[in-house]
Chain A
Amino acid sequence: MLLWGSPMACQEVVELVSDYLEGALPRGERRRLERHLAGCPHCTEYLAQMRETIRLTGRIVPGDFTPQMREEFTELFRRWREDEDEPL
């Protein structure tokens, strides 16, 4: 039985990091990947870049909720209320 599995290549690691970060790798795969990371500064760097990418994506500036939008939705609500109040 292969207790340790075959070594993982860097090229394989970059395709598995997302599943690794998701906690979705089977245990054996996760161990192989972690063993690779322990001895590979480049893939460790790559993993750090993926984490930073996720963090930076979350930093993008949201669009404004403009006064005009506020007005439109207020109007939508009022029209809905009127419609609700109409006798059937």
Chain B
Amino acid sequence: MSGTAGALWSCAPAVPRPVPWETPSTASRASRDRRTVKAVDDDARLLERLRAGDEAAFVALVAAHHDAMLRLASNFVSSRAVAEEVVQDTWLGVLRGIDRFEGRSTFRTWLLAILVNRARTTGVREARSIAVGDAAPAVDRARFDASGAWSSPPEHWVEDAEERIGAAALSTHINAALEQMPPRQRAVVTLRDIDGLDSDEVCAVLSLSQANQRVLLHRGRSQLRRALETVLEGGS
């Protein structure tokens, strides 16, 4: 069956790498999915229908995860078109391997791990190692005095930031700040803070250690905070 399937899909790699199906390290994650219980339940129900061959269930699953998948794939490849191909290729892999999903991780963790695997096979931007050396400090050193105390302390905007920026502009500014980040940092921040994965899931999906995940998250979040501060305080 899979021998003939590849020929139909020009975007599929001729020899797909083995997919990281289930590993002990991703076990018991199902209950820790930070999305609503409903979202996880929905996945499980759709998956059951998909296994029975339900086309509508497939499309509903795709729709539910498409945004996160496209964003994640974009971290590894150079164009949106290629990212879309990676997403399609991932779903094809899911269809072919559906019986191998045992439900020990959430469906989403499994899905995104397959995606990253495919994206890395395809990607031209993949970094082989994370540089976790020196990076810009979370806050410009010039804002502290010699003792390390604030000389230019943060202003108060936490209560009305969303109102002042506006929903549409907020997305624009956050996306612009994400765009500036190195791909892995962006991947960690978006998976955690936009898609709502927990740290274990992110480590499983991106093959990161907890320590590196935290470093990348710290840098990314600090950068996003600076971006919001710049918008809200009208300077840098």
Chain A residues close to B by CB (< 8 Å):
9-12, 14-15, 17-19, 22, 24, 42-43, 45-46, 48-54, 56-63, 65, 69-70, 72-74, 76-81, 83-84, 86, 88
Within 8 A of A (CB), among B57-109: 58-59, 62-63, 66-67, 70-71, 88, 91-92, 95-96
Give the shortest distance, in Å, between B88 (CB) and chain A (any CB).
Answer: 6
Q: What is the predominant secondary structure among interface residues of chain A facing chain B?
A: helix
On whether the beta carbons of B8 and A78 are closer than 8 Å, the reply is no
Give the shortest distance, in Å, between B196 (CB) and chain A (any CB).
Answer: 7
Q: What is the predominant secondary structure among interface residues of chain B facing chain A?
A: helix
- CB nearest neighbor in B for A71: B59
A-B contact pairs, 21 of them (CB 8 A): A9-B149, A10-B148, A10-B149, A10-B150, A14-B139, A18-B218, A22-B217, A24-B210, A45-B155, A45-B158, A49-B158, A53-B224, A58-B196, A59-B167, A60-B171, A63-B67, A63-B70, A76-B92, A77-B55, A79-B8, A83-B4
Q: Which residue of the partner chain, among A42, A54, A61, A65, contacts B168 with CB atoms under 8 Å? A: A61
CB-based A-B contact count at 8 angstroms: 140
Give CA–CA (A80, B92) in the complex, Å. 8
With A57-B174, A60-B175, A81-B55 known, 9 other A-B pairs at CB within 8 A are A10-B149, A10-B150, A14-B137, A18-B218, A19-B218, A46-B139, A65-B66, A83-B8, A84-B5
Chain B residues close to A by CB (< 8 Å):
1, 3-5, 8, 53, 55, 58-59, 62-63, 66-67, 70-71, 88, 91-92, 95-96, 137-139, 141, 144, 147-150, 153-158, 161-162, 167-168, 170-171, 174-175, 189, 193-194, 196, 199, 210, 214, 217-218, 221-222, 224-225, 228-229
Give the shortest distance, in Å, between A53 (CB) and chain B (any CB).
Answer: 4
On whether the beta carbons of B58 and A77 are closer than 8 Å, the reply is yes
- CB nearest neighbor in B for A74: B59
Give the shortest distance, in Å, between A25 (CB) and chain B (any CB).
Answer: 10
Q: Which residue of the partner chain, among B5, B71, B222, contacts A83 with CB atoms under 8 Å? A: B5
On whether the beta carbons of A78 and B1 are closer than 8 Å, the reply is no
Contacts of A63 in B (CB 8 A): 66-67, 70-71
Contacts of A83 in B (CB 8 A): 1, 4-5, 8
Contacts of B189 in A (CB 8 A): 57
On whether the beta carbons of A22 and B199 are closer than 8 Å, the reply is yes
Contacts of B217 in A (CB 8 A): 18, 22
- The winner among A9, A42, A48, A76 for most chain B CB atoms within 10 A is A76
Give CA–CA (A14, B153) in the complex, Å. 12
Contacts of B139 in A (CB 8 A): 11, 14, 46
On whether the beta carbons of B167 and A61 are closer than 8 Å, the reply is yes
On whether the beta carbons of B63 and A9 are closer than 8 Å, the reply is no
Contacts of B162 in A (CB 8 A): 56, 59
